[in-house]
Structure 1
Amino acid sequence: MHVGLLRHGETLLPGRYCGRTDVLLSEQGHSAMSAVLAGSSWQRVISSPLSRCAHFAQAYAADHGIACALDARWCELDFGEWENSSAAELQARDAQRLGDFWRDPLANPPPGGERLQSLQARVSAAWEEALTQAREENLLIVTHGGPLRVLLAQQRGLPLGQCLQMEVPLASLRLIEC
C-alpha cells in the first residue's frame, strides 16, 4: 500500500499564516497540485475540509471516480493571534514571540493558538484510522504543511520540536510505503 501526502498549493493569501482561515487556492496552486499528481494512481482520497485542500481533493476524486472523505483532523495548526499575518508583520510587532516559536515551538505556541503536541495527537489519530480504513488501497491525503511536518517527523523518528525545520514545499507530494 502506498500513501501519498500532498500539501496544498499556493493560495490567494500567499506568505501568510493561514491555519484555520479558509482561503482558496490560486490558479497556479491548483495547477501545481495537478501537475505533481500526473501519472499517479490512487484508490481513495482523504482531505482537510479547508477549501485550499478540499476543493482540489473533491475535484480530483470526482475526475477519477474514487471516494473522497473530509477529516478535520488534517487541518492546519491554529495560529491564534497570528492568523492571516505574514512573517514580516509578525517580526515587526511580535519579534520575540515569533523567535521563541521558531527556536522552541513545543514551549512557545502561537499566542492563543494550538500547541504542536495537540496537532501531533490529532494527526496521529487520523493517520492510524486512515491506514486501517484504506487496507490495501493506495491512499492520497491532501493536507497542510503543519500536519505533514508532524507526521513526517514521527515517521523518521525525529523529535517533535524539530518538525518546523523540515522543508515541505507547496504542492509537494511525499510517498510512504506501508
Structure 2
Amino acid sequence: MTTSIDLLRHGVTENSQRYCGSTDYPLTQLGWTQMWHAVNSQSTQWQHIVTSPLARCADFAHALGQRYSIPVTQDDRIREIHFGDWEDRSSAELMHTDADALSRFWQNPLDYPPPNGEHLLDFKARVLTAWEDIQQRFCGKKVLLITHGGAIRMIVCHILQHPLERVLDIDVRHASIRQVRIDHAKAYRVTLAPDSSV
C-alpha cells in the first residue's frame, strides 16, 4: 500500500519580498496562474486536499476542490512560521536596522531566530505532528498538501534527515510541487521526488 502526498507551495503574493509568516496577504493574479499551471502539470488524481488556513493557500485550495469535487481540510498546524518583529518587513529594510541578526538567521535559523518569532524547534514540532497525522488519516490515499515554503522545507528536512540548522539551504520556489511516496509494505520507505517548478 502506498500513500501519495504532494507538497505544493503557494504562488506569488502581494508582498512576496517580505517576511510574511502569519501576515495574511492573498495571491496576485500571477500567483493564481502559477498554481493552476502547477496542478494542471500533474497527472495525479487527488482524493483530498489539506491546506494552510492562510489566504494564499486556502483560497486556491477551495477553488481547486470546488472545480474537481475534491474535499478540502484546513490544518492550522501547517501555516508558515511566525517571524515576530520581522513580520511584514523586507530583507532590504532589515539590512538597515538589524543586519547582524538577519545574517545570523540566514546562517543558522536554529540558534538565531527572529526577535520574538516562533522558534524553529516549535515550528518543527507543530509541522511534523501535522505531517504524521496526515499520513495516518489518509493512509493509502492521494493527497495534495497546499502550504508554505517553511513547512515544506521542514518536511523535506525531516525526510532527508538534513541538519535542522541548514533548513534554509532547501530551495522551495513559489508554486513548486514535491512528490512524497510512502511505501507501507517496505518497512515504511519514504521517497521524495525532485520538485517540479513552474
Q: Tell me whether 1:25 sits opposite 2:27 in the alignment.
A: yes
Using the size of structure 2 for normalisation, the TM-score is 0.88
Any idea what the Cα deviations from partners look like across 1:104-146, whole Å, max 9, x if unmatched? 1111110010011111100110001101111211000000011
Q: Tell me whether 1:131 sits opposite 2:135 in the alignment.
A: yes
How many Å apart are 1:11 and its aligned residue?
A: 0.2
Question: Which of 8, 11, 28 lines up with 2:10 in the alignment?
Answer: 8
- What is the match of residue 70 of structure 1? 74
Q: Tell me whether 1:84 sits opposite 2:88 in the alignment.
A: yes
Cα distance between partner residues in 2 of 1:173 and 1:37: 8
Cα distance between partner residues in 2 of 1:83 and 1:24: 15
1:46-65 aligned at under 5 Å gives the runs: 46-65=50-69
Using the size of structure 1 for normalisation, the TM-score is 0.98
**Which blocks of at least 5 consecutive residues in structure 2 are unaligned?**
183-198
- What is the match of residue 93 of structure 1? 97
Cα distance between partner residues in 2 of 1:144 and 1:23: 13
Q: RMSD over aligned Cα, in angstroms?
A: 0.8
Any idea what the Cα deviations from partners look like across 1:127-175, whole Å, max 9, x if unmatched? 0110111121100000001111111011011111111111100010000
| Paired residues of 2:26 and 2:56 also in contact (CA < 8 A) | yes
Q: Aligned pair count? A: 178
- Partner-residue secondary structure (3-state), 1:101: helix
Any idea what the Cα deviations from partners look like across 1:57-88, whole Å, max 9, x if unmatched? 11111111111000110100100000111111
How many Å apart are 1:14 and its aligned residue?
A: 2.1
- Aligned AA for 1:119? F
- What is the match of residue 170 of structure 2? 166
- Aligned AA for 1:45? I
Cα distance between partner residues in 2 of 1:51 and 1:176: 24
| Paired residues of 2:10 and 2:148 also in contact (CA < 8 A) | yes
1:147-162 aligned at under 5 Å gives the runs: 147-162=151-166
Cα distance between partner residues in 1 of 2:140 and 2:67: 22
| Paired residues of 2:10 and 2:146 also in contact (CA < 8 A) | yes
Answer 1 or 2: which has greater helix percent: 1
Q: Which runs of 4+ in 1 moved over 4 A?
A: none
- Partner-residue secondary structure (3-state), 1:24: coil
**Which blocks of at least 5 consecutive residues in structure 1 are unaligned?**
none
Any idea what the Cα deviations from partners look like across 1:4-52, whole Å, max 9, x if unmatched? 0000000011211000001100011011011011143211000000000
- What is the match of residue 113 of structure 1? 117
| Paired residues of 2:107 and 2:166 also in contact (CA < 8 A) | no
